[in-house]
Amino acid sequence: MKAILFTLLVSLSGQLLAQKDSTDRSWMLYPSQKVSPDTSALMTSQPSDVFEGVNDSSVYFDPSTSLDFNSSKKGQVTVAKDGRIDALTEFLATPKESKPVQIDGFRIQIFFDQDRNKVLGEKTRFLSMTSDTKAYMEWDAPNHYVRVGNFYTRQQALAYIEKLKGAFPSATVVKSKIDLPEFD
């Protein structure tokens, strides 16, 4: 008895939830409209006569038919789009300054302080002493750091630190992300 009741319930619910009419193709039109006698002809026509005499803004294309690419008829496509798409396309097309590729390596930390002006002064003092090594100012709350150089190994950094010990006695080697060298 339960099996018969279950089967009856399933078959009735399937019919209630099914689409009303298989010939109603208004859901395939854009913009959404009811099918009128003028547009119902579009749904059953062949590809060669689909666009003849159509002045409606919605056109149906039956995917079960094929396109006639050998036709001499010319068509026109009008694209309606938001104006912000052009602005986005222009923004994405403009070249941006790329960040240099960074790898794990070592730098020499020559100074750190919470006062940004003091740190900037030490960076300037280092750059006035040497022009062949880059200096980087980094911030990790609450301190600002001056780190110099791009060294692949700790030994390279230790060899360079010997040159700085006179001017920067508190200089230490720290692990950091370093820039790859630029090739000419």
For residues 38-42, average pLDDT: 47
The single residue listed with the structure tokens 């750091």 is: 145
Report whether 136 contacts 107 (CB < 8 A).
yes
Q: What is the pLDDT of residues 67-98, one digit of tens each?
A: 667 777 777 778 788 888 888 888 787 777 76
DSSP H or E run through 147: strand 143-151
Q: What are 118-145's pLDDT values in tens digits?
A: 989 989 998 988 878 889 988 888 889 9
Q: pTM of the prediction? A: 0.47
For residues 44 and 31, give the distance between their C-alpha atoms in angstroms, rounded to a whole number.
19
- pLDDT for the residue 148: 92
pLDDT of residue 130: 83
What phi and psi, each to the nearest 5 degrees, are found at residue 60?
-105, 135
pLDDT digits (tens, 9 = 90+) for 144-181: 999 999 999 999 999 999 888 888 888 999 999 998 87
Determine the Cα–Cα distance for residues 107 and 148; give it in Å rounded to an integer.
6
| Residue listed under structure tokens 């390596």 | 105
Name the token pair of 80. 């309606």
The domain made up of 102-179 has a fold known as Alpha-Beta Plaits (3.30.70)
Residue whose pair of structure tokens reads 């995917």 in the numeric block: 63
CATH 3.30.70.1070 placement within the chain? 102-179
pLDDT at residue 30 greater than cutoff 70: no
Residue 31 has pLDDT above 80, yes or no: no
